[in-house]
Amino acid sequence: MDLVPALEEPLNQPLKSVLGPATAKVMAEHLGLHTVGDLLHHYPRRYEERGQLTHLADLPMDEHVTVVAQVADARLHTFASSRAPRGKGQRLEVTITDGSGRLQLVFFGNGVHKPHKELLPGTRAMFAGKVSVFNRRLQLAHPAYELLRGDSEEAVETWAGALIPIYPATAKLESWKIGKAVQTVLPSAQEAVDPLPDSLRAGRGLVSLPEALLKIHRPHTKADIADARARLKWDEAFVLQVALARRRYADAQLPAIPRTPRPDGLLAAFDDRLPFTLTEGQQKVSKEIFDDLATDHPMHRLLQGEVGSGKTLVALRAMLAVVDAGGQAAMLAPTEVLAQQHHRSVTEMMGDLAQGGMLGGAEHATKVVLLTGSMGTAARRQALLDLATGEAGIVIGTHALIEDKVQFHDLGLVVVDEQHRFGVEQRDALRGKGKQPPHLLVMTATPIPRTVAMTVFGDLETSVLDQLPAGRSPIASHVVPAADKPHFLARAWERVREEVAKGHQAYVVCPRIGDEEEDPKKAGKKKAAEDEAADKRPPLAVLDVAEQLRGGPLKGLTLEVLHGRMQPDDKDAVMRRFAAGDTDVLVATTVIEVGVNVPNATVMVIMDADRFGVSQLHQLRGRVGRGSAPGLCLLVSEMPEASAARQRLNAVASTLDGFELSRIDLEQRREGDVLGQAQSGARSSLRVLAVIEDEEIIAEAREEAMALVESDPELTGLPGLRTALDALLDEEREQYLEKG
């Protein structure tokens, strides 16, 4: 008899059968909650104390908020309007206060009668609505409200004495309605099956899961909340780490062909020709990779490093080592521009070592082929033939490499560049091309804080390159406040002219292309969204900005544009001209974000810089200062000085440390974005765990998870943990983790 389903049945009950179809429908559609267990894991965002009031002074604009406050004043006004021409229109204005500030509530028409009777001065209540501005003052229009009568039995029962839970809510479902629904299902918490092993729980002094659920939803003291959160953080960290540890364990059981370089082979010949010595970091990371390649199970390694730290060189040496050992290596790039660029720089670095089978090829040479979707038929046929026969040791391409037609003679290593742009399915398809699973090296140019790496890529070993090679120049970054100080922008264009006069080149980056076809339906929607935005102006576009610069501040300089919708051959031609120094200024979208290497480019102007993310700005900035002359990056923005967007730009301007910036980025955004992006769009499982704050818990949970999986890979004695894993790894996630 299987005990597990019986144990977890109450938490698997659909909400429909407990709360009724109408409420259940809203919860499913707006909050993604379907079962009793889902609702029990929908935790309060914060708590209000009866005696204390929430801060009205710092309410966020355009967000749904719930506040607890006291009515200070209520006035009924009559007015004339098109609907009530005889002055019969009614408006109720209620002012509420919490000691920190005041907020106006407005009710119109027939909606004034009930609040007029109930919201008398001195009344305390919870109010929920969307914060808007009218006459320069914050207000809530037609908020929903729930009176807090301290004496009524139900209120005391529902709001659990002193602490009032405030839940993440929506316009359709206020916090207190969610609170009441939680009260209805809370008795089921007693049946929750505990995922943590008893020994772990006891060893760390954590409360049981039923107790944690009770305390998070109905705390009597702040200590109750702390106990509950400490326990629930461990659940999230531990279950996720067990999933990743099992994945690593399974990978370690797979067979792979060990690949060791020959002492007098291709790699040795390549190293002899390098015009510089590898940095200490590059040597250390290369050793980690070579040790992995020499084992008989597949390498799974994440190589992350600063912009320009020489990741491509490290990856190329790994590919040469595999070719030395008789295998082939494939490098997957996210765009054609990047694939062509990699192909060019790899063949340049290798010289005659890349001319295998050709006249003038060196003794240990191999063939390096390019494979992209837009290649001509003859070139494509030849490339496919070279891969199938093993003539080509290295192939560089876009996802065209994954097509069924592409056959490898003996695929030994897959290098994925800029992993976050590749779907999991794509990497999986390429890995399936080997006779046995090939080794995998994932490169990312966005430095990831250690904890995020442990949480998202916990199944990969991590190597970090944090030294810049000798000869790289410093990059100065400045914010240009175009709205407050237009003369700063004029000076920026002067700086561009000065750099060009010295024989250097410049990039100007814009968020949009500018030739978008307007679909009338979409245009209407877009217009509405833009009207809501604080700044009504659409983002600046490459084609418009290029036109203005040609006729204005950069008149007389040679200017070209580059964006993603150009034909691949045209893009390549523009990049070649820029690399050769024929073009002074390249006006581009973010297609230049990764891998573009033009050492003579020294200045970059990023228009509407506030429209880009922190890591994207850091990436873009890494395109200048790649030669011996110092680099300059100017972040142009019209956002006011006090805005969060400007603070983000100031942070980027103040440090060149990508790891530090990724921490700032993460603190400003919710982890869900980071995990969601990396986890193939699956919803983030993190509700109470904060990746940056809870570094220690994640590290400890990882150790515990690895020890557990090592001793009991099937988790035989832990039905609760297996249930929790099933919930975490819904189908989409399961596939994601299997494919890596």
Interacting residues of 376 by C-beta distance below 8 A, sequence separation 6+: none
Q: Which residue would you say has higher pLDDT here, 118 or 158?
A: 118
The answer to whether residue 103 scores a pLDDT higher than 50 is yes
Extract the tokens encoding 146: 């729930």
Residue with tokens 């992209």: 372
Residue with tokens 């995020």: 452
For residue range 580-626, what is the model confidence (pLDDT) as tens digits? 999 999 999 888 766 577 889 999 999 999 988 887 888 888 888 88
The answer to whether residue 281 scores a pLDDT higher than 80 is yes
How high is the mean pLDDT of the chain?
Answer: 81
The answer to whether residue 456 scores a pLDDT higher than 80 is no
For residue range 186-211, what is the model confidence (pLDDT) as tens digits? 998 888 888 899 999 999 999 999 99
For residue range 139-182, what is the model confidence (pLDDT) as tens digits? 888 888 888 775 544 444 444 346 778 888 777 787 878 888 99
Q: 3-state class of 689 per DSSP?
A: coil
pLDDT band at 678 (very low <50, low <70, confident <90, very high): very low
Rounded to whole angstroms, the Cα distance separating 731 from 715 reads: 20
The pLDDT, as a whole number, for residue 603 is: 95
The pLDDT, as a whole number, for residue 513 is: 87
pLDDT band at 451 (very low <50, low <70, confident <90, very high): low
The answer to whether residue 329 scores a pLDDT higher than 90 is yes
Q: Where are the alpha helices (DSSP H) in 204-356?
A: 209-217, 222-253, 266-273, 280-293, 311-324, 336-350
The pLDDT, as a whole number, for residue 140 is: 86
The answer to whether residue 536 scores a pLDDT higher than 80 is no
Task: Render the burial of 481-519: b for 16+ CB within 10 Å, e for the rest.
Answer: bbeeeeeebeebbebbbebbeeebbbbbbbbbbbeeeee
Share of the chain above pLDDT 70, in %: 82
Most confident of 31-45, 316-330, 645-659, 683-697: 316-330
The pLDDT, as a whole number, for residue 674 is: 45
The pLDDT, as a whole number, for residue 53 is: 47
The answer to whether residue 2 scores a pLDDT higher than 70 is no
N- to C-terminal Cα separation, the chain = 35
Interacting residues of 432 by C-beta distance below 8 A, sequence separation 6+: none
Torsion of CA 587, 593, 597, 598, to 10 degrees: 20
The answer to whether residue 459 scores a pLDDT higher than 80 is no
The pLDDT, as a whole number, for residue 424 is: 55
Mean pLDDT score, 46-54: 62
pLDDT band at 522 (very low <50, low <70, confident <90, very high): very low
The answer to whether residue 51 scores a pLDDT higher than 70 is no
The pLDDT, as a whole number, for residue 680 is: 35
Mean pLDDT score, 313-342: 90
- Do the beta carbons of residue 292 and residue 299 sit within 8 Å? yes
Q: DSSP per residue over 177-233, as a string?
A: HHHHHHHHHGGGGGGPPP-S-HHHHHHTTPPPHHHHHHHHHS-SSHHHHHHHHHHHH
The pLDDT, as a whole number, for residue 535 is: 44
- Do the beta carbons of residue 39 and residue 185 sit within 8 Å? yes
Mean pLDDT score, 553-573: 89
Half-sphere exposure of 110 (CA within 13 A, CB side): 1
The pLDDT, as a whole number, for residue 593 is: 67
The answer to whether residue 319 scores a pLDDT higher than 90 is yes
The pLDDT, as a whole number, for residue 587 is: 94
Interacting residues of 495 by C-beta distance below 8 A, sequence separation 6+: 603, 632, 634
The answer to whether residue 7 scores a pLDDT higher than 70 is no
